[in-house]
Amino acid sequence: MALPPDATLADAGEFGLIAEITKLFEQGEHVLVGPGDDAAVLRVKTGHVVVSTDLMVEGRHFRRDWATAADVGHRAAAQNLSDVNAMGGRATSLTVGLAAPADLPVQWALDFARGFADECAKVGASVVGGDLTRASEVVIAVTVIGACTEAPVLRSGAAPGDVLAMCGRQGWAAGGLAVLGRGFRSPRVLVEAYRRPEPPYDAGLAAAQAGATAMIDISDGLVADAGHIAEGSAVGIDVHSAAFDVAEPLHAVGAATGADPLSFVLGGGDDHALLATFPDVGSVPEGWAVVGSVTEPGTDGPRVTVDGAPYDGPSGWVHF
C-alpha cells in the first residue's frame, strides 16, 4: 500500500497501518508464529520465563513536542527491556498496543515503530504482535517476555551486611526533564538522555552470575526504588551520597534552576540504571559502583536513609 507522506491513521485504516508497521519488525529464530495470527507462538529453550507489562500515556509519560516519534519508540522499548534486565534475564519478545487519534500522521506511527524496533535490536528481541485502536490521545501498552538462565534476582533477597551497588548513568534523564519543563533544550546531553535512555543491558545477567541478592531497575527514582528493595527484603538501606560522581551538566542545570544537582541522582528516574545488593564488595561485578549498604531495619520497619539520616528531598515519581 502506497500512502502519501501526509497520510493520517484514518487514511491508512487499521489493517493498512498494521501491515506497514509489521514490515519493520524482524523475527528471531525463537519465533514460530509472529504478527498476523490470533497470538504469537514462541520457542523457549532453557531457563525461566519472565513477563512484564508497562504503559506510556501522552501528556503524562511523554510529549510529542519534546521528543520525536522514534525517541518515544526507543523509550517505550527501553523501559520494558530494562524490567527483564533487572531480573537478571534477557528480553526475547515484545507485543505493542497502540491507541491513537485518527488524525495522527501515519509517519509518526511508523517512526515510533522504527525506534521501538531499533531499541529491541540492541538485545536481539523480536516484536511478535500487538494491537491498534482509536483514542483521544496516544497510549502505548507493551508486554515483554524474556528468559533467565540463572535464578531470577528478586527484590526480596537483600540481607544486612550486603553492599548496595549501581550500574548505569543516573540522574541524567531527570536533568533533561527539568530542562524541557522550563522550555529549554540545553544541556543537550541531558535532553537526549531523557529522550533516549541507555540501560546497561548486559549488567543484569552479570549481576545474577555474580550472586546479586536483590535487584531493581531505577525507573521512578533511586531512593524510591531502593525503598522497594528495603520493603521486599525487610531491611534498611543507607545510600552514601559521596559515592556518586555528579556529572557537570547536572551541576549546570542545578545552578540554573536552584536545585541541588544531587537531587537529580537521588530522585530522578527514567535512566533505567540497575540497583542491586551483593554479599560483599568482592562480589560486585566490573562496571558496578558501590553506593550504599544494607542494614537491619529501623524501629519503624524497612526504610531508606541517605548518609544515615532520613532523606527529605524528592525520592521519585509516584502516579497517584
pLDDT (tens digit per residue) in 133-159? 999 999 999 999 999 989 999 999 999
- Residue 319: per-residue pLDDT: 57
Domains in the chain, ordered, with CATH? 9-148 (3.30.1330.10), 163-310 (3.90.650.10)
Distance CA 120, CA 114 (A): 10
Q: Is the pLDDT of residue 114 over 70?
A: yes
Residue owning grid cell 501528556? 59
Torsion angle in degrees (nearest 10) through CA of 191, 196, 199, 200? -90
pTM of the prediction? 0.89
Cα separation of 100 and 269, whole Å? 26
Say whether pLDDT at 2 is over 80. Answer: no
Minimum mean pLDDT among 16-20, 103-107, 118-122, 266-270: which range?
A: 16-20
Cβ atoms of 271 and 318 within 8 Å: the answer is no
Residue-wise pLDDT for 87-111, tens only, equals 999 999 999 999 999 999 999 999 9
Instruction: Enumerate the β-bridge partners of residue 58.
Output: 62
- Beta-strand runs (E) in 246-302: 274-278, 289-295
